[in-house]
Structure 1
Amino acid sequence: MRVLQLVTRRQHRGAEVFAAHLSNALAERGHEVYFVGLYPPPPEPLAPAAAKTADLQAEPGGRGVSLARLSQLASCVRSLEPDVVQANGSDTLKYSVLVKRLQRGRWPLVYRTISVASYWLRYPGQRAWGRWLARGVDHVVAVSDESRADFARTYSVPASRISTIRRGVHLPGRDGAAEARENLRALADLPPDAEILVHIGSFTAEKNHLWLLEAFKQIRRRRERSHLLLLGDGPLRETVAQAVAGGELEQAVHLLGSRADADELVAGADLLLLGSTVEGIPGVILEAAARGVPSVSTAVGGVHEAVRDGETGMLVPSGDTAGFVSAVVELLDDPRRRQQLGMAAHEFVRQHHDMKVVVGAFEGLYQELARAART
């Protein structure tokens, strides 16, 4: 099959990273895969080795629709003649649906939703617009059951046109932990006895960095050797940097920027922390679990589908600073318990999020939709 994977931008963020992994795996199975960015690429773009890459060059616009970008995407689809198009989050939905409607395209359109759709309703008419777009999609794939139920309810999608295919991760084992720990120490200039807490995510409002800093301030007072390493980039990075500068956290919080090797570096952490206000199912939790690193996270969206509280990590209610601090300190105080959770997390991912199984599920869906489109 010829598959077009459309992402917002070829950047190192959750939806795009998974789409890149999926593109590569599908290409390795013999499919012709195009990994296309809707917006111009960042300085170090994602580039799945086995897939072909391209980017539309129209400059980013506002919340509306750029006619230049719409025209470019229409030309791209027309030239590639894909058997299936998958749109991966954000603006890819509106542009792919509009192109399909304008072209009266027979190619099946799959939309992958990674968050909780209702959380993002901000403006009058947004729900009606979303329902119109959803009717132009042949099948919606949700990253978690929570995401699936919310998307179906919010945009009136029938059960026959939406399903859950969980985020898949590769299972590298835990042998690289020592090297990853040394790399983290070197990147942040940490002392040998540092306790390493890692957060991976874009610097955006929903990732809740400022709340996490307040929680870490209390953790640091109880665990003086603890350090918080923030991996990622985004519009609020400077705000977070200013919150750290000149205060008691200046020597304990380290902003390391966006890292293509973040999934490898997390193996060197004692814990992964996540304080988000909304999530579908966080890939970073699964990547950490695959490397035997447990997480402490707020219990939002589909996080409970990635972390079994008290078994593979710890969950606390959103906004419960005291509970979050206690959970982190408890695990830092008990290395054996931390190791047990990490081993259980690794096994959970092996059983439920094996990338080979996930790729097979997408491949089967594409084949089914492509057959239906030909009849």
Structure 2
Amino acid sequence: MKICHVITRMIVGGAQENTLFTIKGHLENGHETVLVTGPTEGPEGRLLQHQKLPNLKVEVLENLQREIHWTSEFSTIKELERIFRRESFDVVHTHSSKAGILGRIAAKRCNIPVIVHTVHGQSFHQYQSNFKNRIFIMAERFAAKRCHRIFAVADAMIDQCVEAGIAPRTKYQTVYSGMDLEPYLNSPRDEELAKELNISDDTFVVGKIARLFELKGHKYLIKAAAAVIEEIPNIKFLLIGDGILRQELSDQIEAAGLKDYFIFTGLVDPSEIPRYVGLMDVLVHLSLREGLARTLVQAMAAKVPVVSYKIDGAPEVVIDGETGYLCAPESDLAVSAALVKLYKDPETRKEMGIIGQDFVRIKWDWHTMVTQLEAAYEELLENSQRQN
């Protein structure tokens, strides 16, 4: 098959890693594959600099931007059409909201045999205005009519889309976001890194891996930290990631008198993340919206119990009370209570880690994801050929 993936930007992020692993699988399976993306700017880092695929052809469209600029959108559709007509793809697979809408419009206009899209996270949600939500829902409905199947990284994503009337449930298929779990399955404590971060053997390490952006929940972790330091005086909070809120969060931590309890790592190369996870006793995931957080799966693969807000796909990976704890969104008190409970019961932490690793090691492996996607492509391609 000749396959094209279209995504708005290739920053260091979950949707982008998902896309890159999918492409890696295509190339290994002998499929000619092209990646079309927009320019990658910002503090999140450029994924293609860290994880290069030597046989991958990449087309960068300068007008494919996350922000909405109506004149640029029409130019982008024309550029996509030019690429699609020139390459005659069997499959166009779009990712992210902007690229998903523009890519599906262009692919439909070019009569691409198989057009599919993956929902990694919703473009509509309760934390933005009703006006914006209406616009995004209308656009998603329009695009949904111009593709053959919509994949989602969690069942919860499908429920939300169906409830919003974007497409009937029969058009959706859950394909969990695959990743390379091998480095996490064997991630012993890295003493050199611990020394570098000033983490001693008796430190209780609570990690959070996320961009320092709105809705990622760092402010709730800071509130929870203030509530637990008396009961866990040897605690350290390890914040992995960078973003526009770095200084603001640092100021909040200092104002709360918690400076000695927090460590900012800045941007970390994805290949280095297992070393940091290996230092953690618990991982927290406090985002208010996320399809299905890869960090939850990665931590569980490393036998690290997790504490997560009960949002989107989190309940599909976190078994409450067995692999970690699910808390009500925005509740810092529930998070602090869960951390204290895990701190006081190392045997439960160990047991949760073992159960968690067994639960994720096959289901979220990237080879499993690629197999499911390519089977769907082939099924849809056969349907298209029969109709023609």
Distance 1:35 1:336, change over 3 A: farther
How many residues of Structure 1 are paired with residues of Structure 2 in the alignment?
Answer: 372
Distance 1:177 1:2, change over 3 A: same
Q: State the 1:50 CA deviation.
A: 5.3
> Could you tell me which of 88, 111, 120 is aligned with 2:117?
111
CA distance in 2 between partners of 1:338 and 1:61 (Å): 40
State the SS of the aligned residue for 1:157.
Answer: coil
Distance 1:171 1:62, change over 3 A: closer
* Structure 1 residues without counterparts, runs of 5 or longer: none
> Could you tell me which of 62, 67, 77 is aligned with 1:62?
67
CA distance in 1 between partners of 2:375 and 2:213 (Å): 35
- Code of the aligned partner of 1:27: L
- Code of the aligned partner of 1:249: L
CA RMSD of aligned residues (A): 2.3
Q: State the 1:234 CA deviation.
A: 2.7
Distance 1:83 1:271, change over 3 A: same
> Could you tell me which of 232, 240, 262 is aligned with 1:231?
240
For 1:95, the equivalent position in structure 2 comes to 102
CA distance in 2 between partners of 1:80 and 1:253 (Å): 50
The TM-score normalised by the length of structure 2 is 0.88
CA distance in 2 between partners of 1:59 and 1:350 (Å): 35
Contact kept? 1:40, 1:57, Cα under 8 Å: no
Select between 192-201 and 120-129 the one with higher mean Cα deviation: 120-129
Distance 1:238 1:261, change over 3 A: farther
For 1:29, the equivalent position in structure 2 comes to 29
For 1:277, the equivalent position in structure 2 comes to 288
State the SS of the aligned residue for 2:329.
Answer: coil
CA distance in 2 between partners of 1:365 and 1:59 (Å): 27
Q: Tell whether 2:368 aligns with 1:364.
A: no
Q: Map residues 323-362 of structure 1 onto 2, 5 A cutoff.
A: 323-362=334-373
Contact kept? 1:263, 1:287, Cα under 8 Å: no
Identity %: 22
For 2:230, the equivalent position in structure 1 comes to 221
For 1:212, the equivalent position in structure 2 comes to 221
CA distance in 2 between partners of 1:171 and 1:62 (Å): 33
Q: Map residues 1-375 of structure 1 onto 2, 5 A cutoff.
A: 1-40=1-40, 44-46=46-48, 47-49=51-53, 51-54=55-58, 55-58=60-63, 60=65, 62-65=67-70, 66=72, 67-101=74-108, 103-116=109-122, 118-119=124-125, 122-124=129-131, 125-126=134-135, 127-172=137-182, 174-179=185-190, 182-183=192-193, 185-245=194-254, 247-259=256-268, 260-261=270-271, 263-264=273-274, 265-374=276-385, 375=388
Q: State the 1:117 CA deviation.
A: 5.3
Contact kept? 1:141, 1:162, Cα under 8 Å: yes
CA distance in 1 between partners of 2:206 and 2:66 (Å): 37
Q: State the 1:271 CA deviation.
A: 0.9
Distance 1:45 1:61, change over 3 A: closer
* Structure 2 residues without counterparts, runs of 5 or longer: none
